[in-house]
Amino acid sequence: MAGIASPRFHTLDALRGIAAIAVMVFHAGDNSPLPMPGGYLAADLFFVLSGFVLAHGYEARLLDSMSLKTFVVARLRRIYPVFWLGALLGCVLLGGSITTMLMIPSLTEGGLLFDSNWPLWSLLFELIANLVWAAALVQLSTRALGWLVAVLALGLSTATLTYTIADMGAFWLTIAPGLVRTFYSFLLGVILFRLYRRGEVQPQTSLRAWLLLPVLALLLMLAPPSRTLFDLLMLGLIIPAVVWLGAHWTLPAPRFAAWLGGLSFPLYCLHAPFVAFVHAPAAVMALFFAAMIALATMVDRLFDRPIQARLKAMPQETCPSAQALI
């Protein structure tokens, strides 16, 4: 692809790890030793990152000769093994619906889509956005895509003002605004990649990249006077800016970034059922968080990586060299 020599976006990897940790801390609620009232906005960061990286890895190939079926298989192979492990864990620990393991939401009216592992809703919604993009929206010009994102932004703003918060999608009652939220951020990530590609600027190793990690964490820790306006600012400006800068500034610590990026998906998929059981003082919760990070690292290295290696060795595997995102 012109101007891009298949870079590994190390800073984006690290941001994924920080975001996954923030989600875990957020779900711990009052038991957490750290406040993380905006942790749910990490899902929006994941959606933007997904759009950026999938556009980098697949857009040119989808426009060339890659079939939709091949793309779907590639995405399911990447997402499903750890998703299934998280769904199984939820069913064992919390006794939720076994349909979760097939990515089928629970049928409890008005309740959580995935009652035994609630964060999994975002993976289903992201996969839907991935497929719609690959099937139809990848053909749109950047201008047309921009108009679509503007319409989605209007719908998302209206829903956020209605619910007073952008945390929508986990419940049946918020499916529609949750899908709008997902498509808005995902397609915004696609546009960011197209602008990045058009600029033909190689990412530069920079110490400034380190600043993005604590800045992201601090933003998710804020408790602003107006949650609604802050969420809209995060969705419309701050999260896209963090991704944009992260794509341009390369963290000068690739192994550290790869570690954070690797643990992010398992941590996101596995933490919720454990969090539901743990009610302890702050010091114990800090140890629990450390244990969850260690577990996620082990799942990445001993479960997900071996499975992905085997899947990539199967005939007609077409996963790109760019990292796939949750």
Integer Cα distance of 55 and 268 in angstroms: 22
pLDDT at 116 over 60: yes
Please tell me the pTM assigned to this model: 0.93
pLDDT at 326 over 60: no
Average pLDDT over residues 58-74: 94
Average pLDDT over residues 95-115: 86
Which residues, other chains included, contact 326 with Cβ-Cβ below 8 Å and sequence gap of 6+? 16, 46, 50, 79, 123, 126, 264, 265, 268, 269
Cα–Cα distances (Å) from 276 to 24, 29, 116, 279, 291, in that order, read: 11, 10, 9, 8, 15
Average pLDDT along the chain:
92
Average pLDDT over residues 48-57: 97
Q: Which residue has the higher pLDDT, 150 or 277?
A: 150
238 with 185: CB under 8 angstroms? no
Average pLDDT over residues 22-44: 94
Three-class SS state of 205? strand
Among 195, 285, 155, 274, smallest CA distance to 4 is for 195
Integer Cα distance of 121 and 41 in angstroms: 14
pLDDT of residue 222: 95
- Tens digits of residue pLDDT in 6-21: 567 999 999 999 999 9
> Band of the pLDDT at 322, cuts 50, 70, 90?
very low
pLDDT of residue 312: 84
> Band of the pLDDT at 169, cuts 50, 70, 90?
very high
Provide DSSP, 8-44. --HHHHHHHHHHHHHHHHHHHGGG-SS--TTGGGHHH
Average pLDDT over residues 10-33: 95
Among 179, 185, 191, smallest CA distance to 146 is for 191
pLDDT at 26 over 90: yes
Among 74, 73, 96, 101, smallest CA distance to 86 is for 101
129 with 186: CB under 8 angstroms? yes
Residues constituting the chain = 326
pLDDT at 318 over 60: no
Average pLDDT over residues 88-95: 93
Percentage of residues of the chain with pLDDT beyond 90: 83
pLDDT at 319 over 90: no
Percentage of residues of the chain with pLDDT beyond 70: 94
pLDDT of residue 58: 96
Lowest mean pLDDT among 134-148, 194-208, 229-243: 194-208
Instruction: Compute the Cα dihedral for 52, 57, 61, 62 and give only its sign.
Output: negative
* In the chain, beta strands by DSSP E: 204-205, 249-250
* Residue boundaries of the structural domains of the chain: 34-313
In degrees and rounded to multiples of 5, residue 232 shows phi and psi of -65, -40
Integer Cα distance of 31 and 324 in angstroms: 32
Integer Cα distance of 201 and 249 in angstroms: 11
pLDDT of residue 186: 98
pLDDT of residue 315: 67
pLDDT of residue 110: 67
Which residues, other chains included, contact 169 with Cβ-Cβ below 8 Å and sequence gap of 6+? 43, 113, 121, 122, 125, 175, 177, 178, 179, 181, 182
110: left (phi over 0), alpha (psi -120 to 50) or beta: left
Which residues, other chains included, contact 286 with Cβ-Cβ below 8 Å and sequence gap of 6+? 33
Q: Which residue has the higher pLDDT, 39 or 323?
A: 39
- Tens digits of residue pLDDT in 236-274: 999 999 999 999 999 999 999 999 999 999 999 999 999
235 with 184: CB under 8 angstroms? yes
Average pLDDT over residues 35-60: 97
Lowest mean pLDDT among 136-150, 218-232, 309-323: 309-323
- Tens digits of residue pLDDT in 186-205: 999 999 999 999 987 778 89
159 with 168: CB under 8 angstroms? yes
